Amino acid sequence: MFGKLTWQAIPWDQPIPLVAGAVVVLIVLAILAWVVLKGYLPYLWREWITSVDHKRIGVMYTLLGAVMLLRGFIDAIMMRSQQAVAFRAAGYLPPEHYDQIFSAHGTIMILFAAMPIVIGLMNFAVPLQLGVRDVAFPTLNSTSFWLTATGALLVNLSLVIGEFARTGWLPYPPLSEAAYTPGVGVDYYLWALLISGVGTLMTGINFVTTILKIRAPGMSYLRMTIFCWTALASNLLIVAAFPILTATLGMLALDRYLGFHFFTNEAGGNMMMFINLIWAWGHPEVYILVLPAFGIFSEVISTFSGKPLFNYRSMVAATMFICIVSCLVWLHHFFTMGAGADVNTFFGISTSIIAVGTGVKIYNWLFTMYGGRIRFTTPMLWSMGFLVTFVIGGMTGVLLAVPPADFLLHNSLFLVAHFHNVIIGGVLFAAFAGITYWFPKAFGFKLDEGWGKAAFWLSLLGFYVVFMPLYVAGLLGMTRRLQHYEVAAWRPWVLIAGIGIIIMMCAAACQVAQFVVSIRRREELRDETGDPWDGRSLEWATASPPPPFNFAVLPNVRGEEPYWDIKRRAIETQQLSPKPHYEPIEMPRNSPTGFITAFFCTMTGFALIWHIWWMVALGLVAAYAVFVWFAWRDVTEYVIPAEEVARFDRARRQARERWLAQHAGQPA
Amino acid sequence: MRAALAESFMQLPDSTSSGVTRLLQRSPLPCRMSAALIAFLLVSGCSGGVLDAQGPIGAADAKILLNALGIMLVIVVPTIIAILAFGWWFRAANTRARYQPDFVYSGGIELVVWGIPILVILFLGGVIWIGSHELDPFKPITSADKPTEVQVVSLDWKWLFIYPDQGVGSVNELVVPAGVPVHFSLTSASVMNMFFVPQLGSMIATMNGMVTQLHLAADKPGEFYGQSAQFSGDGFSGMNFTLRAVPQDAFAQWVATARQTGSALDRTSYLALCQQSSNVRPFTYRAVDATLFNAVVTQQLPPCPGPDVGRAGATVRPRLER
């Protein structure tokens, strides 16, 4: 009846996951109870869970990413503390637990923390910057989000029921085959990624379509913001790479479930094929994350330098150059597999060529600051921290792209330090910059600058104290994923990294404090104008938070910085643009399709993991039925009457009038 | 062009193996800068790692590592300084800085920002090209001496070393003559591993059903830490070995002793060795079946088994036997 699922699946004998799991379950239950008792459930269902509004979905993506970031960070604390005590000792985490922690840390951080935050910020900002009302396929967008949430849920379920993968964040066969890892951990990994991967692919299709086909009048390609360009590049990569991930993990699932031999030792299987395929996804994945991050920094640096982005066209060229070349470098993840000198040379050189595109970007940001009037707000601090940190991470990356150097440093802590250097310094700093930058747009009040700056400085310091010692440990030959070790020379560096993680914990506490304090002081921090940072692109042209339809009238774009031009005209002529003619607006209706589909997909995934075949069939049929039901709907849109649009816009124009009066006589 | 590059590349100083001090005195600025950095690390207790190379391959790998680092530091250091300087000088509070909101394009700067990275990567590309070919793990070391042959089998979770010419074998201890090249042929009995002795240089993967090649040498007698550099399961952290480089006669003596002690390794005892275990104390085999390595590679001996799934719950949460 319940397949492999018995009471033994709960780790009664392992206090750490048991207690952690119990605490998480209690917190979730407490939140649910609070929501139900306070009567918020109908509001949540109507306004958030079934919402197809790209802004709401963006906020939910970001929130999911932030929660998973905390979960992944707790894993990081456990790993650092285990290594700090496991010198010639067993430490407090046995291998079968420690191996799950580093596997979960990587999987969660990349796929359920960084990806949702990046996709969330794209969801929120791209349609606004393009000057449109929503993405191309709003209900699909909601489905994408809920499928990602399914993946995150399955990964976290493994904490309490069964176990997570013990094979690293990329489960290399033959270790991940049923013969060597018979547990349910790899199955949790496979179905979490297969289901959320479908969601991500749909996001990719959705955003490529949106950016290519739906833009405000006059918004030609070369008038889009760099963030939209990087979002386009990133989503093109999603469309190109995620099918490879799905196919690869599908083949591994066939091996494990039905006795196929794609990657086994026996019967002609070839594990090297898995490693090639997974990195043919894995390397573009790095750029799927980091390209939008570059976009965020471009927006932030330009805004707070009070200048347009330097060499805009060169920046577009560099973005698309990186987008293409990133698909030609995957083999640098396994130079030591013995492919031979010619192959290694090709991939070594192609990898270092990416540094040309990145270098160009760095210099363009540098010259954007040159001649600027830089305001060091929290988002700008994150950007400055990024520029310095990322240059170092890029340098160690090119170092690892030199095959003979990689022969010494592959899989060492030097490698670990390198990719944390670029992912924390690039993607995570961008996430924090983007969240503080767009938060006032989403909620109508700014985040507290004091706590934000404290979080920045502690994160920066903590990052260097954790990862610079790991570079040294890697040069001393320390390999990654060690549950315990015997070499005395490594110890001091591991201990310093342990101190660093304490600083990072303080930084995380400041981040949480930033949100709590800001929400409590929201009336003081409120922004009435819709343009708290003196922005340059279209998202600042509407109110904060924007109405469901974003813009009362779609803006007419005449240059690269449409909102900056509008503001300059207003100040020069001392009046706002003439009052437009308002028309009724059609918006897509909310739909529970995404949530219900994801519910049944969760059911299917869980049933597949535990071999509960009747539940697999039930889940699949039900998920399909939801799609059919959605496809047969009669009414797809609702109409917002012109008077309501006009009422909204009157309020916005009044706020802008006040702003204009304050700026009377000032040069633009 | 390739010859010219090769020449200039070969003229770059011979660095770490013979000491950083010499490098500091007579080398181009980038190398000196990186050497200063490395010297700092060495002073702070950085011996025994990949930069403290004890053989020709490790030294050559490390030289390329330092050269590449030096080449990049030439642009990276000024870039970081410029980022901080521009950020500070153009702060909004600085009234002396000139605000140029229209400075958004400059052909000259565009030429430089594309040109410099391209030139650096061209140069680095040369280093990559030559380095990859010169230091391909499969490429033999030129030497008058006949290389010592060692066959390596990675097992869950220990290393089996077979000396086909001497007919002996050992587990988790690798004894080789110093000053003579060693030719390793490597395979895996089960999952993928990575054979790595940091102080001797290049690592290489071991995979079931396949043979990889590696050529290393130790300059002087000494004991070097060896490990797997590819996570291979729960016992991975206990999968270390010691590589002892000994003088020629001591090696002959070690072989003679090994021939008289321990048991013989044939296909039956191999199947016993195959079972999962970790933190295995080193021991030797007095004789090894000459066809054993081939039998593992060609899968006449089947891949070694994973965890025992006969126990209750093992297909849900298998645990390491202790």
What is the complex's ipTM, to 2 decimals?
0.87
Q: Is A210 helix (H, G, I), strand (E, B) or coil?
A: helix
Q: Residues B215, B70: contact at Cβ < 8 Å?
A: no
Q: For the packed helices A95-107 and A185-213, what is the interaxial angle rounded to 10 degrees?
A: 10
Query: How far is A522 from A516, CA to CA, in rounded Å?
Result: 10
Contacts of B249 (CB under 8 A, 6+ apart): none
Question: Which has the closest alpha carbon to B112: A359, A313, A349?
Answer: A359
Question: Which has the closest alpha carbon to A284: A333, A247, A317?
Answer: A333
Query: How far is A275 from A110, CA to CA, in rounded Å?
Result: 18
Question: Which has the closest alpha carbon to A452: A535, A522, A526, A376?
Answer: A376
Q: Does the pLDDT at position B7 exceed 50?
A: no
Question: Which has the closest alpha carbon to B114: A361, A115, A99, A519?
Answer: A361
Question: Which has the closest alpha carbon to B184: B243, B233, B256, B133?
Answer: B243
Give the nearest chain A residue to B106 (CA atoms).
A311
CA distance A620 to chain B (A): 24
Q: Is A503 helix (H, G, I), strand (E, B) or coil?
A: helix
Nearest to B205 among A95, A336, A492 (CB): A336
CA distance B35 to chain A (A): 14
Residue of A315, A335, A391, A479 to mutate, testing the B interface (most B Cβ within 10 Å of its Cβ): A479
pLDDT tier at B38, thresholds 50, 70, 90: low
Q: What is the pTM of this model?
A: 0.90
pLDDT at residue B24 in the model: 45
Give the angle subtended at the CA of A424 by the CAs of A422 and A428, to the nearest 5°: 120
A 223-282: CB under 8 A from B? 265-266, 271-272
Q: Which residues of A touch B106 (CB under 8 A)?
A: 311, 367
Nearest to A174 among B75, B109, B208 (CB): B208
pLDDT at residue B15 in the model: 40
Contact yes or no for B225 and A487 at CB 8 A:
yes
Q: How many Cα atoms sit within 13 Å of A433 on the Cβ side?
A: 30
Contacts of B112 (CB under 8 A, 6+ apart): A363
Instruction: Tell me if chain A has a CB within 8 Å of the CB of B58.
Output: yes
pLDDT tier at B278, thresholds 50, 70, 90: confident
Residue that the structure tokens 């019967």 belong to: A267
Query: How far is B231 from A174, CA to CA, in rounded Å?
Result: 12
Q: Which residues of B touch A96 (CB under 8 A)?
A: 234, 317-320
Q: Residues A61, A116: contact at Cβ < 8 Å?
A: yes
Query: How far is B228 from A469, CA to CA, in rounded Å?
Result: 21
Query: How far is B261 from B257, CA to CA, in rounded Å?
Result: 6
Give B154's strand partners: B159, B188
Copy the structure tokens of residue A494. 């591991």
pLDDT at residue A376 in the model: 93
pLDDT tier at B17, thresholds 50, 70, 90: very low
Contact yes or no for B203 and A408 at CB 8 A:
yes
Query: How far is A71 from A65, CA to CA, in rounded Å?
Result: 10
Instruction: Tell me if chain A has a CB within 8 Å of the CB of B227.
Output: yes
Q: Which residues of A touch B68 (CB under 8 A)?
A: 398-399, 402, 405
Contact yes or no for B101 and A182 at CB 8 A:
no
Contact yes or no for B100 and A96 at CB 8 A:
no
Q: Residues A338, B131: contact at Cβ < 8 Å?
A: no
Query: How far is B195 from B159, CA to CA, in rounded Å?
Result: 9
pLDDT at residue B34 in the model: 59
> One-letter amino acid identity for B247?
P
Least confident of A426-430, B56-60, B214-218, B303-307: B303-307
pLDDT at residue A392 in the model: 94
Question: Which has the closest alpha carbon to A157: A122, A202, A192, A129?
Answer: A192
Q: Residues A430, A292: contact at Cβ < 8 Å?
A: yes
Contact yes or no for B229 and A410 at CB 8 A:
yes
Instruction: Tell me if chain A has a CB within 8 Å of the CB of B313.
Output: yes
Contact yes or no for B116 and A359 at CB 8 A:
yes
pLDDT at residue B215 in the model: 94
Residues of chain B with CATH 2.60.40.420: 148-297
Query: How far is A406 from A337, CA to CA, in rounded Å?
Result: 11
pLDDT tier at B40, thresholds 50, 70, 90: low
Query: How far is A410 from B230, CA to CA, in rounded Å?
Result: 9
Q: Which residues of chain A have pLDDT under 50?
A: 668
CA distance A297 to chain B (A): 14
Query: How far is B271 from B264, CA to CA, in rounded Å?
Result: 13
Instruction: Tell me if chain B has a CB within 8 Å of the CB of A374.
Output: yes
CA distance B260 to chain A (A): 31
Which H or E element spans position A570?
Answer: helix A562-573
A 151-190: CB under 8 A from B? 162-163, 166-168, 172, 174-175, 179-185
Query: How far is A546 from A236, CA to CA, in rounded Å?
Result: 28
Query: How far is B138 from B210, CA to CA, in rounded Å?
Result: 14
CB pairs below 8 Å between A and B: how many?
323
Which H or E element spans position B173?
Answer: strand B173-177
Q: How far apart are the first and last CA of chain B?
A: 60
Contact yes or no for A338 and B212 at CB 8 A:
yes
Residue that the structure tokens 């949106």 belong to: A210
Map out the domains of chain A with their CATH numbers.
1-224 (1.20.210.10), 530-547+556-583+645-668 (no CATH)
Q: Which residues of A touch B243 (CB under 8 A)?
A: none
CA dihedral B67, B72, B73, B79 (to 10 degrees): 170
Give the nearest chain B residue to A365 (CA atoms).
B83
Q: Residues A354, A289: contact at Cβ < 8 Å?
A: no
Instruction: List, in sequence order, every beta strand (DSSP E) within A104-145.
Output: none
Q: Which residues of B touch A172 (CB under 8 A)?
A: 191-192, 230
pLDDT at residue A379 in the model: 95
A 88-107: CB under 8 A from B? 94-96, 99
CA distance A220 to chain B (A): 20
pLDDT at residue A665 in the model: 61
Q: Which residues of B touch A159 (CB under 8 A)?
A: none
pLDDT at residue B29 in the model: 55
Q: Is A50 helix (H, G, I), strand (E, B) or coil?
A: coil
Q: Which residues of B touch A94 (CB under 8 A)?
A: 320
Tell me the torsion sign for CA atoms A218, A220, A225, A231.
Answer: positive
Nearest to A183 among B87, B133, B315 (CB): B315
pLDDT at residue B23 in the model: 44
Q: What CATH class is the domain B148-297?
A: mainly beta
The better pLDDT of the pair B93, A110 is held by A110
Q: Does the pLDDT at position B191 exceed 80?
A: yes
Rounded to 5 degrees, φ, ψ at B255 are -65, -45
Q: Which residues of B touch A162 (CB under 8 A)?
A: 316-317
A584 burial via Cβ count (<10 Å: 0-12, 13-18, 19+):
exposed
Instruction: Tell me if chain A has a CB within 8 Å of the CB of B87.
Output: yes
Give the nearest chain A residue to B63 (CA atoms).
A405
pLDDT at residue B14 in the model: 43
Q: Residues A138, A52: contact at Cβ < 8 Å?
A: yes
Q: Residues B273, B171: contact at Cβ < 8 Å?
A: yes
Tell me the torsion sign for CA atoms A466, A467, A468, A474.
Answer: positive
Q: Residues A655, A529: contact at Cβ < 8 Å?
A: yes
Catalytic residues of A: 61, 71, 75, 79, 102, 123, 134, 141, 144, 148, 200, 203, 210, 283, 285, 287, 298, 314, 358, 361, 418-420
Q: Is A647 helix (H, G, I), strand (E, B) or coil?
A: helix
Residue of B83, B156, B208 to mutate, testing the A interface (most A Cβ within 10 Å of its Cβ): B83
CA distance A115 to chain B (A): 25
Instruction: Tell me if chain B has a CB within 8 Å of the CB of A352.
Output: yes
pLDDT at residue B21 in the model: 45
Nearest to A344 among B132, B156, B235 (CB): B132
